[in-house]
Amino acid sequence: QKEVEQNSGPLSVPEGAIASLNCTYSDRVSQSFFWYRQYSGKSPELIMSIYSNGDKEDGRFTAQLNKASQYVSLLIRDSQPSDSATYLCAVNKGTASKLTFGTGTRLQVTL
């Protein structure tokens, strides 16, 4: 079983729609959860972090965490063509620990 699993996509949504990206993780001791955005050939850029069950909103982005189901999601409202990228889910086991990444979901926002 992969430590962090994501659907590779591509996920195609029309401009202005809500994009929903999902991630599951296998290790129950995971404590912190992150969404990074990666454009082709570029480095991962932090979008959101979430540590507690529930929702966390930042602008057009909402991260959702359900530790009982070992599930993390990212919602992008009012999707824009510039949101077209690969979204990486990453988890760690607490203070100073490494990040373990999923393979990423490629999002395409169409005009």
CB within 8 Å of 95: residues ≥ 6 apart: none
35 binds other proteins per the rule CB under 8 A = no
- Residue 22 lies near other proteins (rule: CB under 8 A): no
The b-or-e profile of 36-70 (16+ CB within 10 A means b, else e) is bbbeeeeebeebbebeeeeeeeeeebbbbbeeeeb
Tokens 């996509």 belong to 9
42 binds other proteins per the rule CB under 8 A: yes
Check binding of 51 to other proteins (CB under 8 A).
Answer: yes
Contacting other proteins (CB under 8 A), which of 25, 34, 35, 87? 34
Span from 10-18, 55-63, 70-78, 93-101 in contact with other proteins (CB under 8 A): 93-101
List residues binding other proteins (CB under 8 A): 32, 34, 36, 41-46, 49, 51, 88, 90, 92, 94-104
